[in-house]
Amino acid sequence: MFDLTKNVKLNQEDIALYRRTQTGLYVLAFSAGLILLFLILFSSKKFVFSFLTPDSNKNDIIDPRDENNIFPDRGEIKTGNPLIFDTVATGRYSSAEIRLTVAKNSPKPENVSAKVRKSYQAFLYPEGDPIGFKDGTLLKNNGGYFIVSDGKIRKFANENTVLDLGFPRNAFRETSPEESGYNPEGEIIIQSKIDSSELIAPDYPDSSIFKIEETYYILKNGELTPFISEKAYLTQYDINQAIVKGRDFLRYYPISNNPLGFGDGTIISYGEAAFIVSGESILPIDNPETFVEKGYLWEEIIPVSGDEFSLYPKGKLQMLRSPHPDGIVYLTEESSKWYLVKEGKKHLLSSENIARSWLKKSPVTVSEKSLELKDACSFEKETLSFRTYSCRFPVDSLEVFRGKDYEFKLLGKSDTRLETLNVTFKKEVSRDNLKFALIDLYNKLRMNYAR
């Protein structure tokens, strides 16, 4: 054994004592190092929620609610009304344990069981009405020509009307009556009123798109709204669907002072930061891990200029625990169903044609099977506690589903009042888990250093 203080001499008896203690100290340090390594490789992840302090920052279980989306005040759970909550756990876990502590004077919970599913949080939203084509889409069917205007599908009276107005014929995409049935029917576009004196504005339907010099415009409520850039325009519409006009066309319509930006769900970057466009604002993405876990693709980031960036106010920070924002389009991998997220609901886009009118980039892939709730476990009272009930179940079978959001649904057969709720994800010590932990560390390392 080495001695770091050789010049400090001890007598024979103390040398033996020192050597023994020194060996013990190094063994202890080595063991502590091993335990830390074990904690890093086979880490567990704990989430908590206290119904006594529901506004505390320490609560990291997401959105405890009942079936009507109402927060259970003071943790009160009524018979037949399940408690639903979410957690976002990255990494590969073997099992999860849910622990409930009931309030002191609360009736004991009876026959409480848990169900679980794993996906992206917004994909677990309730399903809303199907949505049709996006405004401005040009469609043709059985020789008829249509434009989607103010959400309605409007038919051009005949081909000549289309040509007189200058719509490029090759921009009309073939559609079926079923597809176009998702937009209500609007008025027929009978005849363009192009005045020979060119003093009266031609009667273009709303959502017509024009290219005047290098700027793209969309007609909205009788105003020409410019796009901030061609880059922004191309995230919403196809290049060939704009009607090319000369500068004198601008005299017919007032020009809006609020230019349009990028399509919903577009990922833009400014400097080192990445943002997702959602409605009127851009949401900063907090780190590369969130970016990857949300299913976004690095190659689809669009670097933007200062002018394009300053068009938007910054919205809420997108973290791992945040759901995908409005405007994200999901595609199920099993049945190729498309969904658009909007105002807390996911809306079916019944065909790829409809989906492509909303989306000019790759969708976020999801598993349809991940929507199914699986029976997890039944709660039992813990031996050494009067008020704590727990249940444990394997989660490795859920690993195949994309997304890191675990949604739990607890249902009991009696009223009860909860004080705290804990969920702990655990990893078993196994060769597979070791392999995945090392791969995970490697990926994190790569994410930090890859440019």
Partner 1 sequence: MLNKLALEKNKLLVIYKLCVDLLFIGTIFFAVSLLAESLIPGIVTSRVGFSKISFLVVLPLLLSSVLAGRLGISLAEEKINKKALVALVFLMIFTFFSSLFNLSIFLNLFILALALTCAYFIFKVVTENA
- The residues binding partner 1 (CB under 8 A) are 3-5, 7-8, 10-11, 14, 17-18, 21-22, 25-26, 29, 33, 36, 39-40, 43, 272, 441, 444-445, 448-449
Spatial distance between the Cα atoms of 312 and 427, rounded to a whole number of angstroms: 42
Q: Count the Cβ atoms, other than its own, within 10 Å of residue 254.
A: 11
Smallest distance from partner 1 to CB 39, Å: 5
Spatial distance between the Cα atoms of 146 and 165, rounded to a whole number of angstroms: 13
Smallest distance from partner 1 to CB 302, Å: 20
Q: Tokens representing 89? A: 């756990």
Smallest distance from partner 1 to CB 33, Å: 7
Residue with Cβ nearer partner 1 (19 or 108): 19
Smallest distance from partner 1 to CB 29, Å: 4
Spatial distance between the Cα atoms of 65 and 54, rounded to a whole number of angstroms: 12
Q: Count the Cβ atoms, other than its own, within 10 Å of residue 244.
A: 11
Residue with Cβ nearer partner 1 (44 or 158): 44
Smallest distance from partner 1 to CB 262, Å: 24
Smallest distance from partner 1 to CB 125, Å: 30
Smallest distance from partner 1 to CB 68, Å: 36
Q: Tokens representing 305? A: 């200029």
Q: Which residues contact 435 (CB under 8 A, 6 or more apart)?
A: none
Cβ atoms of residues 103 and 417 within 8 Å: yes
Residue indicated by tokens 């609901």: 345
Q: What are phi and psi of 331, to 5 degrees?
A: -130, 125
Cβ atoms of residues 380 and 390 within 8 Å: yes
What one-character DSSP code corresponds to residue 71?
-
Taking alpha carbons only, the member of 235, 192, 233 closest to residue 211 is: 233
Spatial distance between the Cα atoms of 177 and 142, rounded to a whole number of angstroms: 9
- How are strands ordered across the β-sheet holding 127-128? 127-128, 345-349, 338-342, 329-332, 364-366
57-87: b (≥16 Cβ within 10 Å) or e? eebebbebeeeeeeebeebbbeeebbbbbbb
Residue with Cβ nearer partner 1 (66 or 286): 286
Residue with Cβ nearer partner 1 (40 or 400): 40
Residue with Cβ nearer partner 1 (7 or 68): 7
Residue with Cβ nearer partner 1 (26 or 386): 26
Taking alpha carbons only, the member of 167, 256, 166, 249 closest to residue 200 is: 249
Cβ atoms of residues 55 and 35 within 8 Å: no
Cβ atoms of residues 297 and 347 within 8 Å: no
Q: What are phi and psi of 82, to 5 degrees?
A: -70, 155
Residue with Cβ nearer partner 1 (16 or 194): 16
Residue with Cβ nearer partner 1 (25 or 200): 25
Residue with Cβ nearer partner 1 (386 or 442): 442
Smallest distance from partner 1 to CB 207, Å: 42
Smallest distance from partner 1 to CB 320, Å: 13
Smallest distance from partner 1 to CB 319, Å: 14
| Rg of the Cα atoms in the chain | 30
Residue with Cβ nearer partner 1 (19 or 74): 19
